[in-house]
A = this chain, B = another copy of it.
Amino acid sequence: MKINYPDGRIFNSQPSKSSLHTTNAKKKLIFGDRGMTLEEEINESNKYYRAHDIAVIYKKPTPIQIVKVDYPKRSKAVIREAYFRQASTTDYNGVYNGYYVDFEAKETKNKNTFPLKNFHQHQIDHLKMCQKQGGICFVIIKYVELKRYFVMPADEIFIHWDAQFDGAKSIQLKDIEKGSIEIKADYNPTLPYINAVQQLIESGKEKK
Contact = CB atoms under 8 A, between A and B. Distances in A.
Contacts of A192: none
B84 A76 contact: yes
A157 to B, nearest CB: 17
A166 B97 CA distance: 33
B88 A64 contact: no
A83 interface: yes
A56 B133 CA distance: 7
A82 B40 CA distance: 21
Given A61-B61, A61-B62, A133-B97, A84 B77 contact: yes
Interface string A100-121: 1010000000000000000000
A63 B14 contact: yes
Contact of A95 (B20, B55, B133): B133
Nearest to A134: B98
A173 interface: no
Contact of A129 (B17, B56, B62, B77): B56
A22 to B, nearest CB: 12
Given A76-B84, A99-B100, A69 B20 contact: yes
Contacts of A76: 83-84
Interface in A56-73: 56, 58, 60-66, 69
A141 B79 CA distance: 29
A20 B67 CA distance: 8
